[in-house]
Amino acid sequence: MATGANTPVYAAATLPPHLPARLSICCWIWSWITSATEGEPYWDLDTCMAGLKERGFNAVRVEAGLNWAFRADGSPRGEVAFRPWIAGCGWNFSTVNSRGGGRHDVLQRLVALFESARRHGVYVILTSWEYQDSTSFLADPALRAEIHAIPPANRYMHLAKLHDRLLTVLEERELEQNVAFVEVHNEPDASEFPGGEEGRELHSEAIEFLRGRHPEVLITGDFTSHDYAIVPENVQVFDQHVYAGFGWYFRTLFGETVLNKDFDPQKPRALPALNRVLRNELVPWSEFMVAAENVREFWRPIMWMYENLDNDKWDEWAAETFSEWAPRIREKAETTFASDAQEGRRRGLPLVFDEGGYFYPPRLARFEVFGEGLSLFELMCDLAITHGYWGFMPGTYCGPEHLAWQENPAWLLGINARFQKGILSGS
């Protein structure tokens, strides 16, 4: 393929001049708070920031922990205690393998994050997963109940007011220049919010509030359904997640195992596809489900399987089935990027891809971070360059707890440099 070095970033004229020409994004999700006790990956934020820069990133997307940092009235909450996602388990769970037990003043930690970002020349994307998954990490059931007690119709504005409080704190410390942009909440179309026209209007009101309070900060939403009708007209970044391998996971890797209609938790080895990837010694289903009672039901069978995987066998199976799915996955990526870019251009907005890929691999599986599995992210980088994207993330998540970060830093550095310079693969 030819070089794309001269491909301009679309809608660059709408970007604040202090922000980079292109964002190479990694995602620390909530782990930077929940896996931050001594000996865990995020204990030292400066070391993490330095590692981010060494791998060619200049931006990081994080859980803002808004309800963890502030009470509903906007006052600082102080220290909050955290628990494991699934107590006694989690060795093979990406982003949720926290051992728990940490106590953090989340507001202080947010300030420390931005101070480190300023020292290292890094820009922060603020978002939240509180009405999707992250609230499960809170040790205090009363606090979890408090967060979920906010009526769904009030959640957009509730979060907007807490974002406002956080941005005000950052402005008081002259740290707001390191905000890349703000998402009210991650994937509201896949979270606990009103849908359809009602959701769009409520989301729009929250964005309008924040834009009025902080006109110098880009305010937006991010989405995963590619239903453009639910995207408010007042978003300032067009941000869509592209899980091109979703069908592969849910029809084959999950669909032939724990999501198969014939799956029997009491006889897990009865399904040949599942049996071939399981370890010899299993955590029983009933025992696991007691530990996972605080986790969204959607995740429980998947997490049980990941807990009981032989990762080498999973990788072998993934490689075998990928060959059949690869053309469909590639086509899905190409058509979705093109469609998203067309809609972003219609709206005159900078384009961002800050989450996506296949779906959610086991933490220690290697297929997606080496060899053939990387082909999808190389393609997505080409697509982001071709369509003039402002922001790109080379993976679903990426941080110090992930194999790609630990074992393939050269690849991360290379793909980030390629995106920054606009160089298409094969040039």
All structural domains of the chain, each given as residue ranges with its CATH number in brackets, are 21-245+327-421 (3.20.20.80)
Strand-by-strand arrangement of the 123-127 sheet = 219-220, 179-183, 123-127, 59-63, 23-29, 391-392, 351-353, 238-240, 222-223
Splitting the chain (427 residues) into consecutive groups of 10 residues, what average pLDDT does each group show?
Answer: 67 95 97 96 97 98 98 96 95 93 97 98 98 97 97 98 98 98 98 97 98 98 97 98 97 98 97 97 97 94 98 97 97 98 98 96 94 96 98 92 95 98 92
86 alpha-carbon distance from chain centroid: 19
Q: Structure tokens of 131?
A: 């009405």
Given this model, what pLDDT does residue 2 score?
Answer: 43
Look at residue 313 in the predicted model and tell me its pLDDT.
Answer: 98
- Cβ 203 vs Cβ 184: under 8 Å: yes
Query: Which pLDDT score is estimated for 240?
Result: 98
State residue 4's pLDDT score: 56
List C-alpha distances in Å: 8 to 16, 96, 406.
16, 37, 32
Those residues with Cβ within 8 angstroms of residue 134's Cβ, 6 or more apart along the chain or in another chain: 29, 30, 34, 63, 65, 128
Q: What is the pLDDT of residue 5?
A: 59
Q: Which residue has the tokens 């399987």?
A: 305
What pLDDT, on the 0 to 100 scale, is given for residue 395? 85
Paired tokens of 159: 């979060």
What residues contact 65, with CB distance under 8 A and at least 6 apart? 30, 33, 106, 109, 110, 128, 130, 134
The confidence score (pLDDT) of residue 1 equals: 39
Question: Would you state the structure tokens that stand for residue 139, as one six-digit string?
Answer: 């040790």
Please give the radius of gyration of the chain, using alpha carbons only, rounded to the nearest integer.
21
Phi, psi of 276 (to 5 degrees): -70, -20
Q: Single out the residue of 140, 87, 92, 95 nearest to residue 288, CA to CA.
A: 87
With vertex at residue 138, the alpha carbon angle to CA 137 and CA 140, rounded to the nearest 5 degrees, is 150
Q: What is the pTM of this model?
A: 0.97
Residue 66, beta-bridge partner list: none
